[in-house]
């Protein structure tokens, strides 16, 4: 196989999988699709400029309706799907009729068929869902992957606001369905099924752990179905403790780490209640404000168990990129897909802020020419702004109304402690001197170091003169290089590889839209 390139695909994941992803090429698949919650979700943006309190923009609608597209997908499944799935969807169609839930099931079934195709024979897939449709999704997974390849139904329990319902208990869990492609070939990392629990000496005593005459920490259990011969053998090994009444109990020794803490290795159960959601952690550094964002610890656990360094992790609903960020951190290759520029913009900023410029990837499906960029600006100005900010690796922030600007923070000294900010404005019309003045005012109001104005067309000379009149910025640590306080860039500049000139940054080369011919992987 040729040298690996991480990939991001913008667009409909079903089409992208069919066009670009080869059979049996993914080692681990994790998907956190819409849950059929019948709700709209928005991203919370931090405040900026005229909107200091912050605001939001719609991320996606999790609303499904039976329509011509659903009918077409249902027909494809019935005509071409495996017989088990055909029988199931026909039965569900009779039971549910052509309604919202059936539209959701049909949407998911077509994608799960593709995911089965691209998963390696040694691979594992996780489907993240909630009680809204998890019972239906398990039937669909059984029909596609086979009930014999079912591994776990993991319950992720988390805290959160109390339910306002007067009739229901609060819903405080999600479901992760874990399946193998072929159970006999599955490649599980055995250590990943266990976790080490570290306790202080006082905590260990409160847990009922004891020390023997040699000072070794242990816990004990009843002998259960051990035979008398086994008990004799264990007693010879010093692993039997007898109670005051002479009843034998089996001892299990615990380790102590370099700090003297007692460590117990325990196999993970299928109920995970030790990973909090991000809903109550607004100050968390990993929180991107994305409505369905999952904590990195959750993805770390499953990636550690079911993939190895250098293997490929795939997320077809990658959102703001938790799977991608964790895969990169853990030395895995990755592919992500999403259908909104908002999600990919947040994801690219996340990669930039988490890994600086040490991560490389290509992007497929975004504008590849000046003409395509102009078409996007005309048809959907907001998505155009988000696309440009993503290319630059900037964090989108709402700036009143439908206008979005971006932030990039950089270190002003070698200690990485002094942070300065670049404010980025993306114009969707021909720029004039008021754009430059507005950006200059924003720099002063937010005490930023630099500003960048991204234009569709080449700015006139008087506008360039206005930008030059804004002055310059000199990095405090070196005092050598001078940076224009306001930098003007065009879309053509960005396609040619020119980027914002920022202190201590070599250039956002990894964020460029890939111009290579789209090709099928492997």
Task: Give pLDDT, residue 515.
Answer: 34
Domain limit, last residue, from 267, 293, 316: 267
Closest by CA to 64, choosing from 19, 109, 114, 28, is: 109
Taking every pair of Cα atoms in the chain, the longest distance, rounded to a whole number of angstroms, is: 97
Residue 403 maps to a domain: yes
Residue bearing tokens 């270190």: 411
Residue 2 maps to a domain: no
Domain limit, last residue, from 267, 284, 300: 267
pLDDT, one tens digit per residue, over 164-199 is 888 989 889 999 999 999 999 999 998 999 999 999
What pTM value is reported for the model?
Answer: 0.85
φ, ψ at 121 (rounded to 5°): -65, -25
Q: At what angle do helices 381-392 and 341-355 cross, to 10 degrees?
A: 20
Segments forming the whole domain that contains residue 503: 370-511
φ, ψ at 124 (rounded to 5°): -135, 145
The CATH number for 477's domain is 3.40.1350.10
- The CA angle 422-427-428, to the nearest 5 degrees, is 150
Q: Return the exposure string of 308-343: e unless at least 16 CB atoms fall within 10 Å of the residue's CB, then b.
A: eeebbbbbbbbbbbbbbbbbbebebbbbbbbbbbbb
Task: Give pLDDT, residue 7.
Answer: 96
257 and 198: one domain?
yes
- In 324-387 the beta strands, taken as DSSP E runs, fall at 333-338, 362-364
User: In residues, how long is the chain?
Assistant: 522
392 and 294: one domain?
no
Task: Give pLDDT, residue 402.
Answer: 60
The CATH number for 127's domain is 3.40.50.150
151 and 248: one domain?
no
Would you list the DSSP string of 5-64?
A: --EEEES-HHHHHHHH--TT-EEEEEE------SEEEEEEEPPBTTBTT-EEEEEEEE--
Task: Give pLDDT, residue 114.
Answer: 98
- Surface-to-core class of residue 307, CB atoms within 10 Å of its CB (0-12 exposed, 13-18 middle, 19+ buried): buried
380 and 430: one domain?
yes
- The CA angle 175-115-42, to the nearest 5 degrees, is 55
Domain limit, last residue, from 320, 339, 358: 339
Q: How far is 266 from 209, CA to CA, in rounded Å?
A: 14
258 and 311: one domain?
no
Residue 345 maps to a domain: no
Residue 346 maps to a domain: no
380 and 495: one domain?
yes
131 and 276: one domain?
yes
Task: Give pLDDT, residue 477.
Answer: 61
Task: Give pLDDT, residue 522.
Answer: 32
Mean pLDDT of successive 10-residue segments in the chain (522 residues)? 86 96 98 82 58 61 87 95 97 95 95 98 97 96 98 93 83 96 94 93 94 92 92 93 93 93 94 86 72 93 97 96 97 96 90 84 92 91 91 82 81 70 92 91 92 92 92 75 91 90 56 33 33
Residue 263: left (phi > 0), alpha (psi -120 to 50), or beta?
beta
Task: Give pLDDT, residue 414.
Answer: 59
Residue bearing tokens 């615990």: 254
Residue 58 maps to a domain: no
Provide the terminal-to-terminal Cα distance of the chain, rounded to the nearest Å: 7
396 and 480: one domain?
yes
Parallel, antiparallel, or unpaired: how do β-strands 271-272 and 255-256 relate? unpaired
314 and 251: one domain?
no
Q: Count the domains in the chain.
A: 3
Centroid of chain to Cα 46 = 20
152 and 299: one domain?
yes
pLDDT, one tens digit per residue, over 476-489 is 765 668 899 999 99
Contact present, 156 and 176 (Cβ < 8 Å): yes
Closest by CA to 510, choosing from 315, 347, 367, is: 347
Residue 52 maps to a domain: no
Residue 202 maps to a domain: yes
68 and 133: one domain?
yes
Residue 308 maps to a domain: yes
185 and 206: one domain?
no
């Amino acid at each position: 196989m040729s040298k690996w390139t991480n990939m991001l695909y913008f667009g409909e994941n079903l089409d992208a999988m069919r066009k670009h992803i080869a059979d049996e090429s993914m080692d681990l698949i994790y998907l956190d699709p819409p849950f059929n919650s019948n709700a709209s979700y928005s991203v919370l943006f931090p405040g900026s400029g005229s909107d200091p309190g912050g605001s939001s923009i719609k991320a996606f609608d999790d609303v499904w309706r039976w329509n011509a597209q659903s009918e077409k997908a249902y027909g494809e499944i019935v005509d071409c799907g495996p017989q088990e799935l055909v029988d199931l969807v026909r039965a569900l169609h009779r039971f549910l009729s052509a309604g919202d839930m059936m539209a959701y099931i049909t949407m998911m079934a077509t994608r799960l068929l593709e995911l089965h195709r691209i998963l390696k024979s040694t691979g594992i897939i996780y489907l993240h869902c909630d009680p809204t449709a998890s019972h239906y999704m398990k039937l669909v997974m059984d029909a596609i992957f086979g009930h014999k390849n079912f591994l776990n139904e993991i319950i992720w329990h988390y805290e959160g606001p109390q339910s306002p319902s007067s009739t229901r208990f609060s819903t405080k869990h999600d479901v992760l369905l874990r399946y193998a492609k072929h159970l006999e070939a599955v490649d599980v990392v055995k250590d990943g099924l266990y976790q080490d629990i570290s306790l202080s000496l006082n905590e260990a005593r409160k847990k009922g752990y004891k020390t023997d005459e040699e000072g070794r920490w242990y816990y004990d259990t009843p002998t259960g179905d051990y035979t008398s011969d086994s008990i004799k053998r264990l007693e010879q090994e010093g692993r039997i403790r007898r109670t005051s009444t002479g009843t034998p109990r089996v001892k299990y020794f615990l380790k102590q780490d370099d700090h003297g803490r007692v460590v117990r290795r325990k196999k993970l159960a299928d109920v995970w209640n030790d990973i909090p959601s991000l809903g109550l952690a607004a100050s968390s550094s990993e929180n991107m404000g994305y409505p369905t964002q999952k904590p990195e610890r959750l993805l770390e656990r499953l990636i550690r168990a079911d993939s190895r360094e250098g293997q490929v992790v795939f997320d077809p609903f990658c959102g703001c990129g938790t799977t991608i960020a964790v895969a990169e951190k853990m030395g895995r290759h990755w592919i992500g897909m999403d259908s909104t520029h908002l999600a990919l913009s947040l994801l690219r900023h996340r990669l930039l802020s988490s890994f600086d410029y040490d991560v490389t990837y290509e992007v497929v499906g975004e504008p590849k020419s000046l003409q395509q960029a102009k078409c996007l600006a005309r048809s959907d100005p907001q998505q155009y702004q988000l696309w440009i900010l993503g290319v630059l690796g900037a964090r989108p922030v709402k700036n009143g109304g439908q206008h979005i600007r971006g932030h990039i923070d950089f270190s002003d000294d070698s200690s990485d402690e002094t942070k300065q900010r670049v404010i980025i404005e993306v114009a969707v019309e021909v720029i004039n001197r008021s754009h430059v003045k507005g950006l200059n005012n924003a720099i002063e109001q937010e005490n930023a170091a630099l500003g960048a104005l991204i234009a569709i067309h080449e700015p006139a000379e008087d506008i360039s003169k206005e930008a030059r009149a804004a002055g310059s910025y000199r990095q405090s640590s070196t005092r050598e290089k001078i940076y224009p306080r306001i930098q003007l860039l065009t879309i053509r500049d960005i396609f040619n590889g020119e980027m914002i000139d920022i202190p201590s940054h070599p250039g956002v080369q990894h964020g460029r839209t890939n111009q290579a011919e789209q090709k099928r992987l492997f």
